[in-house]
Structure 1
Amino acid sequence: MPHAPINFHKPAKSPNALLRHLQLKGLGTQKQKVQALQALEFIGYHRLLIYMRPLQDPQKRFFATVQFDDILKLYDFDRRLRLVFLDAIDRIEVAFRSAIINTLALDKACGPHFYLDAIHFKNGQAHRDLLKQVLGLREKGNASVKHYYGTYNTPALPPAWTVLEAMTIGQLSCLFSDLHLDHRKTIAAKFGYDESVLVTWLKTLTLLRNVCAHHGRLWNASITADAPKYANVIKAEFPSQNNCGRIFARAVVVQALLAKIDPASDWKLRFKQLLTTLPTAVLTKASLTTAELGLLPGWEARPFWS
């Protein structure tokens, strides 16, 4: 039996009213009232709410000694975590674009317009789906795409390097997974991992990128959709299957790819440094641990992260 519809009747509340509401639930503010009102004004109650929940009991009352500043510490850590991942995903996305172009556009059997021939894709439907995406790029306003259509008459569609530069990371991920197996293997060889692994890695980084770009909660999220497939050569670096949805599994993927793309990258050092700023004192108040991130014990000392 479907539930009877419930009418929404909650009124909007001012920052002052919201702060009083939180105080009634046991949240301490001490000398933080000005800071709290500033945060409720410019960050917003409902964005901060997802950082409050771990600090509350099942009745949504705050644990003893929890202060408003504790919420902000979790929020700020998560914000910086998103930025660190976005920086890495940006580099990985660019690398995959370049790898596909350099592999196929330079191949005499493929060429700059390889994507016009269905033979380069795993099936006809995948090829038709891509062509629909390419046709839709003209409406997106990309400068390179506009330049092509304003300058050339034939071929009717732009070369691969123009098309790929205008694609989103999600479209790029679909393109890679839809290429003919032989092409995927050749591209994957540049990164040193099996093509079936890289297909899942691009999908998982696409999802991660969208969570980060849209300010989603990351530090203790369990993102079970599109979890990355383990690469056999570094399987020991991944957390257990139960923690494959935690951010640490994605961090392993990022570091594995960056180590191939740019061995001099300092991303792993920045990630490790950021993890040392996790507000563990705040987590202690709620009986939480770093297990919320899916970290392997002693991970930071392993050669993979050194």
Structure 2
Amino acid sequence: MELKKHQVPMTIDEQVENLKELGLVINDEEAVKEFLNDVSYFRLIKAYSIGLKKKNDNYNQGVTFDMIKELYLFNCNFRQALFAQIEKVEINLRCRIANHFSYKYGNFGYEDAANFENEDYHSHFLAEINSEVDRNSKSAFVKNFRNNYETDKIPMYALIELFSFGTLSKFYKNMKQEDKKVVARIYGVKYTYLESWIEHIAFVRNICAHYGRLYNVNLSKTPALYKQYTKQGISSVRVFATLVCLSNILPRDRHWNDFIDLIETLLDKYPNVKMELMGFPTNWKDVLI
């Protein structure tokens, strides 16, 4: 197979001309140039043209730059709203794991491989977290434990604040089964589901943190879903599955309802968004509430 050549870099004026040649409708060239000066051609056009044109072909008839811009802006707003919900999970999961693990195994029980399922996982964890402690050696709380206590080790209840969500997910995954059950019971779910959901949410969290696309994308790290959801045809590869996981972890209170209302407002504000491309069923509000 012959490999493709890299595209020659284009000025913003050339980018606009290229889009016009591909059949994209542009109503205000100056506004388009201004937007492409803020958001790169690659980030915008390559990602949000999917479904609006055939591969290596012209845009479908009637597709406008404003439609692509709308999809991008929806994704930005949706991603920010979702990230705020994920943050709640990340913070309360840290708390609940630290409380249980510290009480049962002591401040430095995380150092003992016998307190975990897999010794290799544990050694990787120690190397990873030691590197993180060194990287944060100048932070106030790390210096406090190193300079003012009889041992320079950092207790579990404080160390966990240095975990990335990915590390937190891996830590939970390697906890003993009986310990995972205790934490999962706080959320009212089986530990096998919580383990899967946390791993998935950590993956989506990284997409959010790096300003990635959640609209019209298949997620490679998928969660296990209850049969009640799969029977409704809800796919685990689309971002609606993330919302389903969150709805079973976070309290379905006023704050959660506000989040649902915000999503509905975004869908109304950006009419070119096709919610089915995110895995949303027609009764999505009923599923989440």
Q: TM-score, normalised by structure 2?
A: 0.90
SS at match of 1:266: helix
In the alignment, the residues of structure 2 paired with residue 298 and residue 5 of structure 1 have an alpha-carbon distance, to the nearest angstrom, of 45
Partner of 1:161: 157
Residue 98 in structure 1 maps to residue 95 in structure 2: yes
2:247 aligned partner, one-letter code: Q
Deviation, structure 1 residue 132: 1.5
Contact 1:200/1:228, CA 8 A, preserved across alignment: yes
Deviation, structure 1 residue 118: 2.1
SS at match of 1:158: coil
Deviation, structure 1 residue 176: 0.4
Residue 211 in structure 1 maps to residue 203 in structure 2: no
In the alignment, the residues of structure 2 paired with residue 21 and residue 47 of structure 1 have an alpha-carbon distance, to the nearest angstrom, of 16
Residue of 228, 237, 254 corresponding to 1:236: 228
Deviation, structure 1 residue 114: 1.6
Change (3 A) 1:7 1:71: closer
Written as runs of structure 1 = structure 2, the 5 A alignment for 1:82-121 is 82-107=79-104, 110-121=105-116
In the alignment, the residues of structure 1 paired with residue 57 and residue 272 of structure 2 have an alpha-carbon distance, to the nearest angstrom, of 17
Change (3 A) 1:226 1:7: closer
Partner of 1:71: 68
In the alignment, the residues of structure 2 paired with residue 101 and residue 57 of structure 1 have an alpha-carbon distance, to the nearest angstrom, of 50
Residue of 249, 268, 272 corresponding to 1:282: 272
Partner of 2:57: 60
Deviation, structure 1 residue 281: 4.7
What are structure 2's unaligned runs of at least 5 residues? none
Of 37-46 and 238-247, the range deviating more from structure 2: 238-247
SS at match of 1:106: helix
Residue 41 in structure 1 maps to residue 26 in structure 2: no
Change (3 A) 1:174 1:53: same
Partner of 2:216: 220
Contact 2:260/2:285, CA 8 A, preserved across alignment: no
In the alignment, the residues of structure 2 paired with residue 199 and residue 73 of structure 1 have an alpha-carbon distance, to the nearest angstrom, of 35
1:229 aligned partner, one-letter code: A
Residue of 158, 166, 190 corresponding to 1:194: 190
Change (3 A) 1:282 1:297: closer
Residue of 250, 254, 258 corresponding to 1:258: 250
In the alignment, the residues of structure 1 paired with residue 135 and residue 253 of structure 2 have an alpha-carbon distance, to the nearest angstrom, of 35
Residue 135 in structure 1 maps to residue 125 in structure 2: no
What are structure 1's unaligned runs of at least 5 residues? 284-288
Deviation, structure 1 residue 57: 3.0
Of 138-147 and 42-51, the range deviating more from structure 2: 138-147
In the alignment, the residues of structure 2 paired with residue 159 and residue 251 of structure 1 have an alpha-carbon distance, to the nearest angstrom, of 33
In the alignment, the residues of structure 2 paired with residue 265 and residue 183 of structure 1 have an alpha-carbon distance, to the nearest angstrom, of 31
SS at match of 1:55: coil
Deviation, structure 1 residue 239: 7.0
Q: TM-score, normalised by structure 1?
A: 0.85
1:179 aligned partner, one-letter code: M
Deviation, structure 1 residue 18: 0.3
Contact 1:222/1:246, CA 8 A, preserved across alignment: yes
Partner of 1:286: none
Contact 2:238/2:278, CA 8 A, preserved across alignment: yes
In the alignment, the residues of structure 2 paired with residue 239 and residue 207 of structure 1 have an alpha-carbon distance, to the nearest angstrom, of 25
